[in-house]
Amino acid sequence: MLPLLGTDDEVVAFFTEIADLDATDPSSHELEDGVCLASGARLEQFARAGSGDAFCFVGEGGEERTVVYVSLDGEAGPLGLGLAELVRLCLVAPWWRDAPGRTAEELRAVADEYREDLPDLDQRRDRAAQALGLDPAGLPSEAAALARLVELSRGPVAAACLVIGYEGDPLDPLFDATPSHP
């Protein structure tokens, strides 16, 4: 799937322009010196956001590895257990970066803004999904994808994927690691 993220026109257009994930030139993606996992496992950047934030695989292996996002703003956390989970997240909720700390109503407003700015979002998503060999009807809902992010932020995956910044301190979690109470 990773080669398609960097070469298929429909996929590249969706992921770079809408989901802000650029995997077109993996050799140019390099983490800041000193950014690493607390566990000592390998952290391999395979894509970047326009801001320079990094999408990284954890450990050794292929696309089945856990994917971690490392923000230049000092935040990091797991996004999926494998590239396929990250791809599904980006297809259904390309605005996921706006999710931390937002209420359901605020998230609905963010999604509505995305759709207002990109009236053909669903068609573009479906074309990208099909180019990746995914059935658009089988994609998770936005709510399910975001709930999965929160789940990953609170469990053993988050602990195993703790990212240490170049100054030696753990980066802040992407999502609040404690359940909110009314």
Q: How far apart are CA 64 and CA 87, in angstroms?
A: 12
Please tell me the predicted confidence (pLDDT) of residue 176. 67
Please tell me the predicted confidence (pLDDT) of residue 181. 39
- Output the tens digit of pLDDT for each of the chain's 182 residues: 888 888 899 999 999 999 999 999 877 767 878 899 999 999 999 999 988 899 999 999 999 999 999 998 899 999 999 999 999 999 999 999 887 777 778 888 888 998 899 999 999 999 999 999 999 999 999 889 988 988 898 889 999 999 999 889 999 998 765 544 33
Please tell me the predicted confidence (pLDDT) of residue 132. 95
Q: Any bridge partners for residue 96, and if so which?
A: none
- Which CA distances in Å does 177 have to 53, 58, 80, 157, 171? 21, 20, 16, 12, 13
Please tell me the predicted confidence (pLDDT) of residue 180. 45
Please tell me the predicted confidence (pLDDT) of residue 177. 52
- At 123, list the tokens: 């068609």
Question: Is 162 in contact with 152 (CB distance < 8 Å)?
Answer: no
Q: How far apart are CA 13 and CA 118, in angstroms?
A: 13
Please tell me the predicted confidence (pLDDT) of residue 107. 81
pTM: 0.91
Please tell me the predicted confidence (pLDDT) of residue 38. 95
